[in-house]
Structure 1
Amino acid sequence: MAKALVFFLRLCFQLLALPIYVLSLLGIWGPFCKKVFFPAFLEKFTVSYNRKTLRQKQELFGNLLAFAGLSGELRLLEIGTGTGSNFQFFPGNCKVICTDPNPHFQRSLAKSIAQNQHLRFDNFLVTPAEDLHQVADSSVDVVVSTLVLCSVRSVKGALSEVYRVLKPGGAFYFLEHVAADRSSWEYFWQQVYFPTWKLLFDGCCLTREIWTDLDKANFSDVKLQRIYVPLHWTPIQPHIIGYAVK
C-alpha cells in the first residue's frame, strides 16, 4: 500500500514538472540547469542556509587549525566549493584549493574570494569529487564537504579520493543532508520527491545514508552528530555533521 502511494504521488509531482522532464529529454534542461538555474539558485540558497547553520558551522570549523602542519599553515581542499559560502568560516593562515565539477560559479565564487582576504587560494579545479587526480597523495591537511555527497555519482569513490589526498592524521569535515529514519513520514516524502528533486537540483539525491559510507571508509576515528536544519517545507532537514580522521 505504501509503495503504491509513493508511486502515485511521485507521478503527480512528475506531471507538475512535466515541462522540465520534456526539456530534459530534449537535452536542454541539463546544460541550462548547470549554467544558469543551479548557480543562481545556490547563490541565494546558501545565504539562507548559512544563516540557519551559523552556530553549527562555527563549531564545526572552530578546530580546523588543530590539523595544520608544522609550519602552522593549514592546507585545505574543499570539494564542491560552489559559491564559496564556507570561506568565511575558514581560519587565517589557510591555503584553500577549490574543486567543483560545475565551472559556472565564477561570478559568485570571485565575489566570495574578494570578501575573504584572510585566506590564500590555490587553483580552482574543475573536477568531480570522485576524481581528484590533480591533487597529490597525502598532500592536504583537511578536506571539507558541505551539501556535496548528495550529488556525487559515487559516495564510496568520493570518500576514497578524500582519504587518498589527506595526510596521515588529517581530517575530513562534513555537513551533509541525509535520509530520514526509514519509519518516518519524512522518509516517505523523500521517496515521493526523489526523482523530480534530483532532476531539478542537478543530481541531488534525498535518501542517501551517508553515515554508512563513512563507517566503511577506513578512517581511524569518525565524530558524527545528527542534526535537523530548519529548512521548512523541504525534504532536506535531516543532516549529519562532524569530521573523520585518517
Structure 2
Amino acid sequence: MTFFMHACAFFIKMITLPLHVAETVGLLSFYKRVFPYVMSKCADAYNDKMNDKKRELFRSLSKFYPTNGPLRILEVGCGSGANFGYYPTGCKLTCTDPNPHFRSYLEKSMAKNDHLVYDSFVVASGENLQGVEDNSVDVVGGAFFFMEHVVSDPSSWIYFLQHVLQPLWYYMGYFCETTRAIWKDLEEAGFSDLQLRHIHPPLFFMIRPHIVGYAVK
C-alpha cells in the first residue's frame, strides 16, 4: 500500500505542478484574499458539528484565570474568529494569523461578541510570534489549548487519501497540512501537564481525525 500511496501522491503532484509554479512567481496572491471569505463561510458549519466539543474544551479556561485582572488569551491562527463565542466574558484577546486579509472578518466577529475585549491583531505565523510580548498572556503562555485536525491512523483509508491528496489540499486550504502527527510534538515538548484526546467528529474526511485538549507549561 505504501508504494501505491506514494505513486498516487506523485501523480497528484504532477497535476498540481502548474499551481506550484504559479505560487512561486506570485500568481496565487489573489487566493490570499479569497481564502478568508471561504473560511468564514465554513466556520458556522464547523461550529455546528463541533459545538459540544468546543464548549467542553473552553470550559477549562476557568482554571487559568489570574488572581487579578482579565484572562488574557492569545489565539494562534485565529482565522475569522470562529472561537470567540466560546470564550468567557471579559477576556482580553490577542489574535494572530499569517493572512492579513482576515482582519475585516475578525472585526465582524468581535462586533458579534462584545463580551470580549479585543486587544490586537498581529500578522504572524505560529512559528514566529515575536510580535507578541513575552509573558503578556495567560492562555497560550501559561496554558496551551488546542483543537486541531491531524493525520489519521496508518491502517486507514483516510491516512491513504490524506497523503495522496495533500499536494492538492495544500493549495485548496491555503498551505494547510493534513499529514502531521501533532500529538507527538506535544508529547515530546516537556509540558508539566498534557490533557489530550483523539476524536473523530463528523467532518469532511480529510480533516476528520482531530486532537483536542490543553497543555500546561
Relative to the length of structure 1, the TM-score reads 0.82
Distance (Å, rounded) in 2 between the aligned partners of 1:26 and 1:131: 24
The aligned residue for residue 32 of structure 2 is: 34
The aligned residue for residue 49 of structure 1 is: 46
The aligned residue for residue 167 of structure 2 is: 195
The answer to whether the aligner puts 1:204 opposite 2:147 as a matched pair is no
Distance (Å, rounded) in 1 between the aligned partners of 2:47 and 2:125: 23
Distance (Å, rounded) in 2 between the aligned partners of 1:23 and 1:133: 30
How far the C-alpha of 1:17 sits from its partner, in A, is: 5.0
The DSSP-based 3-state class of the residue aligned with 1:218 is: coil
- Is the strand fraction higher in 1 or 2? 1
Contact 2:12–2:167 (8 Å) recurs in 1: no
User: What is the aligned residue count?
Assistant: 217
The aligned residue for residue 96 of structure 2 is: 99
The DSSP-based 3-state class of the residue aligned with 1:195 is: helix
Residues 192-220 of structure 1: per-residue CA shift (max 9 Å, x gap): 01111112211111110101100121210
The aligned residue for residue 216 of structure 1 is: 188
Higher relative contact order (CA 8 A, sep 6+): 2
Distance (Å, rounded) in 1 between the aligned partners of 2:103 and 2:129: 20
The aligned residue for residue 155 of structure 1 is: none
Counterpart of 2:123, as a letter, is V
Counterpart selection for 1:112 from 90, 93, 109 = 109
Q: Which runs of 5+ in 2 are unaligned?
A: none
The DSSP-based 3-state class of the residue aligned with 1:207 is: coil
Q: Which runs of 5+ in 1 are unaligned?
A: 144-165
Contact 1:72–1:93 (8 Å) recurs in 2: no
Contact 1:96–1:122 (8 Å) recurs in 2: yes
Distance (Å, rounded) in 1 between the aligned partners of 2:22 and 2:129: 31
Distance (Å, rounded) in 1 between the aligned partners of 2:122 and 2:116: 17
Distance (Å, rounded) in 1 between the aligned partners of 2:76 and 2:11: 35
Relative to the length of structure 2, the TM-score reads 0.92
Distance (Å, rounded) in 1 between the aligned partners of 2:66 and 2:49: 32
Residues 25 and 172 (structure 1 numbering): CA distance in 2 closer, same or farther, change over 3 Å? closer
Residues 51-74 of structure 1: per-residue CA shift (max 9 Å, x gap): 110000000001212201111510
Residues 230 and 123 (structure 1 numbering): CA distance in 2 closer, same or farther, change over 3 Å? same
How far the C-alpha of 1:15 sits from its partner, in A, is: 6.0
Contact 1:175–1:240 (8 Å) recurs in 2: yes
Contact 2:103–2:121 (8 Å) recurs in 1: no
